[in-house]
Amino acid sequence: MPPRTVVIGVDSSTQSTKAAFVDAASGRLLGVGRAPHVVSGEAGARESDPEGWWRALRAAVAAGLKESGVAASAVTGIAVAGQQHGLVVLDRSGRPLRPAMLWNDTRSARQAAALTEEFGGPDAWTGRTGSVPVAAVTASKWRWLRENEPDIAAAAAAVRLPHDFLTERLTGVAVTDPGDASGTGWYSTTTGAYDPVLLELLGLEAALLPEVARTGGTRVGPLTAGAADALGLPATTAVAAGTGDNMSAAVGLGLGGAGLLNHPVLSLGTSGTVFAASRTRPASVALSGFAATDGTYLPLACTLNCTLAVDKVAALLGLDRDEASPGGEAVLLPYLDGERTPDLPTAAGLLTGLRHDTTPRQLLGAAYEGAVVTVLRALDELLRACGLDPADPGVAARPLRLIGGGARGRTWVETVRRLSGRPVIVPGGGEPVALGAAALAAAAATGGDPVTIATGWHTDEDAQLPPVPRDSTTWDRIGSVLERASGPLLGGF
């Protein structure tokens, strides 16, 4: 019997790093190491020290080796999937010049609006990049940096995304992939390359950017001697180009470019996202028209406020996260960090519909409902952009794949079922981002196709939950508040 080979899929998210140790032949999860990140900032700022991500990756790999009992010599590949959009600026030695501006840093909202206007409006941007600039997009953050910290911008010898930074630490190679690159605002999903016209508009030199690999599973090198020593892994370990977290989740679910509109994906994490892989390039000003990591397309809509915002409401009420009941007449829009979909970067939370008999549990339930309706409205936009009518009975009956931390929460799952009226599929693996990164690592080690590898790994039974009647009353009540809300209520609605 040949010796077991193991690959490591790294999920470097906003809040933490996970390193999943996966049997390369069967896809069996052998162990997961975890390490936290520090996020700081106020008044719209959200920043992390990239060196903290590197320390967390090292700690997560060490913890994963211990938990899994895997011999380091068995590891043949590693890949990083990272939070999208963050702006990392480095000096000539590869050290950060400042903390990274994260995707949920909303300070660059004004710059996003200015860029949209300067390039001819939303349609011009979607035609070029697939997406309209918002505060989350890296291009907006680069413009903010040039305007607010010009000395830092001028000193930058390299501009990276979070996953690029970590891949470069592993290999010494400056590389990204089509999926994560498509979230920068300077990569064209039409041409599959950096857009020179947009780079000129942004005052950004192409020489500062990493090379775009063919796919996220492309082998970009072995570990450097220093990285191998820091991680305790063989220097022969293959390193993949990696990708963004949403693109990696699509790989981990075995969803390729043939299309997954029969099973749209809802990811409930710090942010809420809905996405679908497609071979066609949808262009909608309401969506992020990302590329998938295999060079096809991953149209996506993202909300800023999901599990973290609802947990904050639970903490304010002194309740555990599952001590919730339906909100009754109360409506709570938990837009605590502004909002991205709808595009309300300066918004604050909104509570209305209180009665004498409103209970704390109902208020918490209303926070869940506000977050879920926001995500489901984004799903409707995605379906329309892909040529489907959300109200069509056949479309409305298609199952939703539910992933992310919220997929493990009883109240999240039941709120999605009640407000969507759809069947819900909860994948059995539980770590699709890390699993997708592991499939990319296996592809780098073997030359295989990562989606095919991940599909072959699906040995766990998914939980398939039947539909329940759609709660149209709650949906309509929240929708009515959203439609009637004015600027003073939501900080610029």
Neighbours of 447 (CB within 10 A): 10
Spell out the SS3 assignment of 184-197: CCCEECCCCEECHH
| Buried residues in 462-472 as b, exposed as e (16+ CB within 10 A) | eeebebeeebe
Q: How far apart are CA 365 and CA 418, in angstroms?
A: 12
- CA 105 vs. chain centroid, Å, equals 14
Q: Tell how many helices (H) and how many strands (E) occur in the chain.
A: 18, 24
Alpha-helix runs per DSSP H in 203-279: 225-231, 245-252
Determine the angle formed by the axes of helices 138-148 and 109-118, rounding to 10 degrees.
Answer: 110
Of 105, 245, 343, 380, which is the active-site residue?
A: 245
Measuring CA to CA, which residue among 100, 128, 216 is closest to residue 167? 216
Coil, strand or helix at 160: strand
Coil, strand or helix at 90: strand
CB 328 within 8 A of CB 408: no
Q: How far apart are CA 364 and CA 357, in angstroms?
A: 14
Q: Which residue has the tokens 């860029």?
A: 115
Q: How far apart are CA 214 and CA 223, in angstroms?
A: 20
Which residues, 6 or more positions from 1, have their beta carbon under 8 angstroms from its beta carbon?
none
Q: Is the C-alpha dihedral spanning 89, 93, 94, 99 positive or negative?
A: negative
The type of residue at 52 is: G
245 is catalytic: yes
Q: Which residue has the tokens 């492309």?
A: 218
CB 7 within 8 A of CB 76: yes
Coil, strand or helix at 480: helix
Which residues, 6 or more positions from 105, have their beta carbon under 8 angstroms from its beta carbon?
41, 44, 45, 46, 47, 135, 141
Q: Please give the positions annotated as active site.
A: 245
